[in-house]
Amino acid sequence: MQRYFAAVTILLLICMVLIRTQMLGRKGIRAINFGKLDKRDFIIPPFALFYFYLVFANALALPSVSSQKFFTSDAVSWIGDFFCLAGLVVLLFSLISFGKSFRVGIDTQQPDKLVTSGIFALSRNPIYVAFGFVLIGQFLVFPNWILLIYLCGGILLFHRQVLREEQFLRERYGSEYFEYRRRVRRYF
């Protein structure tokens, strides 16, 4: 049960983001801006696809690169599922709070207003927190060295993107962003 939920979490995350971008597209808003500022971002998708395969291979007992586990514990797997569920909930509240300001990547052409309400009153980067929760959860369900590397790499990658976005937000929103940054933590 825990393995299947952890794997389905990926599909739910992707569906939530795709549905939101499609909804914005109907309003004439181009929400996908991935790789526009830094072409090195296009290195990410092949690694993400491999990650998806690893999670589904572990969940469905398909051939995998490594079957070695650090530990086996039903209790820890349930905790992992809780993290996956928490990630889904945080992402859902983030998408709702974002409204029409949601973008994948930095939109320098048509940025919307600075979002500071809803879940953004608790964290300046709740979407990255959500993804981090899911990575932690999936590692706890499938505790092998490859997913540990992905967990560490993912967190570093999220932080890199947060720093890039913060620079853009400082330049775009100035004192409004500075005040928001003073009130609300970067993560949680």
105 φψ region: left (φ > 0), alpha (ψ -120 to 50), beta (else):
left
The tokens for 100 are 């029409």
Q: Which carries the bigger pLDDT value, residue 30 or residue 158?
A: 158
- 65 confidence band (pLDDT: 50, 70, 90): confident
Residues 6+ apart with CB under 8 A from 89: none
Show the domains of the chain with their CATH numbers.
Answer: 2-183 (1.20.120.1630)
Output the pLDDT for position 36. Answer: 67
